[in-house]
Structure 1
Amino acid sequence: MEKEPIIALDFPTWEEAEQFLAPFEGEELYVKVGMELYLQNGPFIIEQLKKRNHRIFLDLKLHDIPNTVGQAMKGLAALGVDMINVHAAGGVDMMKRAVEGLQAGTKEGGKRPILLAVTQLTSTSQEAMQADQLIQVPLKESVLHYAQKAKEAGCDGVVCSVLEAGAIRDACGEDFYKVTPGIRLKDGQADDQKRVADPAEAREIGSTMIVVGRPITKAADPVAAYHHVKALWGGQAE
């Protein structure tokens, strides 16, 4: 599986994203397009990134009634992105319909996008989960439950924190994707993330893919920061 970090393009406009990507000319990256960038700019963003041969994780975290999510996924599949996600809290039926929608919308001969289910956001602490969601089990137990339901529904994997990746691997198998945001460097700030780890820890614990935003996008030299993170993630640096 992929051993390069996914860069979170957390920008409001294509112009800012394009300016960030310019120094990477000639490199084929894996990038994440979230709600901020996609909802303000639409499919144009995907078209521009595909022209540059970047792989794309479309991070929209859909959560609605099963029919709505299924139909939305059918349309989004036509964009040709590589990975997309829903909220596991939407339930097994919703996740199943998401899979069906992606299959129906994928062009003949094409590859269906990888479907992930978001377990608990990496900005959520156990205290916040229990107070705001009235989920009284430990946070790790909640995440593991969502992961098992996602696998039951036919999803390819989950979005989780590094701290839960090992337990999900043990419960759902090595091939079940564990995509982990909340990646920070040891000398960096956690910002609004609560459950964080560095790239080397993510590799050791069992993440399949890592998503890295501000440690790269806000770095003085983003290209150097990217290659440093990539080396840590691939085990070529410590």
Structure 2
Amino acid sequence: MHERPLIVAVDVESAAEAETLTSKLPASCWLKVGMELFYREGPDPVRKWKEKGHPIFLDLKLHDIPETVKRGMKNLAQLEPEIVNVHAFGGQQMMEAALEGLDAGTAAGKKRPRLIAVTQLTSTSEQEMKADQNISGSLRDHVLFLAGNAQRSGLDGVVCSAHEAEAIRQETETSFMTIAPGIRRKEDAAGDQKRIMTPKEAGERGVTGIVVGRGITKSVDPAEAYYRYEKEWEHGKQRCIYR
């Protein structure tokens, strides 16, 4: 995987919108394909962008009984995304089954997609976690618990907010990935995200990769916005104490 990538979230409703957006982005940049586009257009956009050289984070957040997730991952592996994910709330047995499915679906001689687990959504506050999920303790501690389960299940990393990434790095293996959404430049609106951080701050904390949506995709000039984010992200990485 490209070292510590900037991933653009292509959260649009149709292939036509996606094509218009990606035509304005740098060639071969990372793209995140989520439920909104995948459920309408299926795997075709993924195949098309892979052919054009775009690394893909397939963000479908599988969460079901282990056998169902295993079979689903076996099919998704054939699209050859660089990263796929599940919900850590599914538990260790489900995460292990997801990994088995990816292994089974990866063609001989090909590299298995990286498998990461969503911890707590960056739109969830600690107050909401306690009220809506009936989870006591701090949000940070629960994210660390879920990250530990993901590592014990053999996964390659987690989706978390940049606020938890440093603590996760201290308690997991060096290669364990932290992919952080909720990234906003100071000039950009927070939207529905609660636990946000700037690209520079995320880079300084050793986050493996950042996911940026509206700050780039809703810009008048998405390529220019991309390069602004990339500049801050690179500056933060250079200041990071973790190597």
TM-score for both structures, normalised by structure 1: 0.97
In structure 1, distance between residues paired with 2:163 and 2:180: 9
Q: Deviations over 1:35-67 (max 9, x none)?
A: 000011001111111121101000000000011
Moved more, 38-47 or 84-93: 38-47
Match of 2:234 in 1: 234
Pairing 1:161-176 to 2, within 5 Å after superposition: 161-176=161-176
User: How far apart are residue 70 of structure 1 and its match?
Assistant: 0.5
What code does the residue aligned with 1:222 have?
P
**In structure 1, what is the equivalent of residue 131 of structure 2?**
131
Q: Structure 2: how far apart are the matches of 1:162 and 1:155?
A: 19
What is the aligned partner in structure 2 of residue 205 from structure 1? 205
Partner-residue secondary structure (3-state), 1:24: coil
Cα shift readout 1:79-126 (whole Å, capped 9, x = no counterpart) = 111100000000000000001100000011001000000000000000
The answer (yes or no) to whether the contact 1:96–1:153 under 8 Å persists in 2 is: yes
CA-to-aligned-CA distance 1:133-171 (integer Å, 9 cap, x gap): 100110000000000000000000000000000000000
Q: Which runs of 5+ in 1 are unaligned?
A: none
Alpha-carbon distance, 1:4 to partner = 3.5
Q: Does the 8 Å contact 1:3/1:230 carry over to 2?
A: no
- DSSP-derived class of the 1:235 partner: helix
> Residue in 2 aligned with 1:85?
85
Structure 1 residue 173, shift from structure 2 partner = 2.5
2:120 alignment partner, SS class? coil
What is the CA-CA distance between 1:3 and the residue it aligns to? Answer: 3.7
Q: In the aligned structure 1, how far is the partner of 2:78 from the partner of 2:61?
A: 17
Counterpart residue identity of residue 212, structure 1: V
Distance 1:103 1:45 in 2: 23
C-alpha distance in structure 2 between counterparts of 1:146 and 1:137, whole Å? 13
CA contact (8 A) 2:120 2:143 kept: yes
Structure 1 vs Structure 2: percent identity of aligned residues? 49
Alpha-carbon separation, structure 1, partners of 2:127 and 2:24: 41
CA contact (8 A) 1:13 1:37 kept: yes
Q: Which segments of structure 1 move beyond 6 Å, counting only runs of 4 or more?
A: none
Structure 2 residue ranges without an equivalent (≥5): none
Is the contact between residue 73 and residue 101 of structure 2 (CA under 8 Å) also seen in structure 1? yes
User: Which whole-Å CA distance do the structure 2 matches of 1:111 and 1:176 have between them?
Assistant: 17
- Distance, in Å, in 2 between the alignment partners of 1:137 and 1:29 is 39
> How far did residue 11 of structure 1 move?
0.4
Q: Which amino acid in structure 2 is aligned with residue 4 of structure 1?
A: P
Residue 150 of structure 2 corresponds to which residue in structure 1?
150
Aligned-residue Cα RMSD (Å) equals: 1.4
Change in CA separation of 1:92 and 1:4 when aligned onto 2, cut-off 3 Å: closer
Contact 2:24/2:221 (8 A) holds in 1:
no
CA distance, structure 2, for counterparts of residue 124 and residue 49 of structure 1: 31
Query: How many residues matched?
Result: 237
Mapped contact 1:4–1:233 kept (Cα < 8 A)? no
Aligned twin of 1:7: 8
Which amino acid in structure 1 is aligned with residue 46 of structure 2?
A: I
What amino acid does structure 2 have at the position aligned with 1:125?
S
Go from structure 1 to structure 2 and tell me whether the alpha carbon gap of 1:145 and 1:192 turns closer, same or farther (over 3 Å shift).
same
* Deviation (angstroms), 1:225: 0.6
Partner of 2:25: 24
SS at match of 1:58: strand
Equivalent residue letter for 1:142 = H
Amino acid corresponding to residue 171 of structure 1 in structure 2:
E
Q: 2:71 & 2:142 partners in 1: Cα distance? A: 28
The reply to whether residue 36 of structure 1 matches residue 36 of structure 2 is: yes
